[in-house]
Amino acid sequence: MKVALRMFKKYFLCVLLLLLPGCGRMVDWMKDSFQQIPFLDTQCDTVEKYSKSITLYDQLTTKAKFDVMWLADEVRALYVDLFALKFGKTIEQKKTLLRRQLEENNHFISFYVLSLYEVPLGDSLSEWALFLQINDKNYAPIEIKTVELSPEYMCMFGKKFNRFKVAYSVKFDAKDIDDMPLINEHVHAMKLFFRSTTKEVVFEWDVRRNHVAEQENE
């Protein structure tokens, strides 16, 4: 038995040595014969600090999964970069699009939320309700609706986005009833609450770094 095992090992090593040089040639042939996709450095991961996720379990069963992205100035700026790159926009067209995107943030505090199909949001019968908290004051959303994410935002969500999840646009007024911005120099953080009758999930962002360089707007 031991003799047979040693002979098998020697035979295996001989076959492996014969095949190794061919492997390199095979790889070269595949590269030459099948055009590989050239990838661009899109830097989608640079906005990860604005994206947060949580998964809730009941023992081993997944009960809910939320992925949230705050559409801060930097996130909208990256969207413009990706959009302009894909469609070959000029510098002037890119600046115009950026101004429009940043203007949205003057009126709304916006999020994209991914949730499981079986955990719908935005309906009066939904298990989970959402609200925003800034300086210990709570604000109800003015809009929660399902959306088709653009490829640019799919890129930013990365592997978090998949066919098992629904994308929602969630918007809050950016100003209070006195027309004063909710996010100002005195605000350091904001919290987005997901709350049911028995559970609560809180996402928090540092709002002090929500700023796009002035040269982007010039």
Tens of pLDDT, residue by residue, the chain (218 residues): 554 555 655 555 555 544 555 555 544 544 455 444 444 456 777 788 999 999 999 888 999 999 999 999 999 999 999 999 999 999 999 999 999 999 999 999 999 999 999 999 999 899 999 999 999 999 999 999 999 999 999 999 999 999 999 999 999 999 999 999 999 989 999 999 999 999 999 999 999 866 554 434 44
Q: How many CB atoms lie within 10 A of CB 117?
A: 9
Q: What is the pLDDT of residue 215?
A: 39
Long-range contacts of 215-218 (CB under 8 A, 24+ apart): 216/77, 216/95, 216/98, 217/95, 217/98, 217/99, 217/102, 218/95
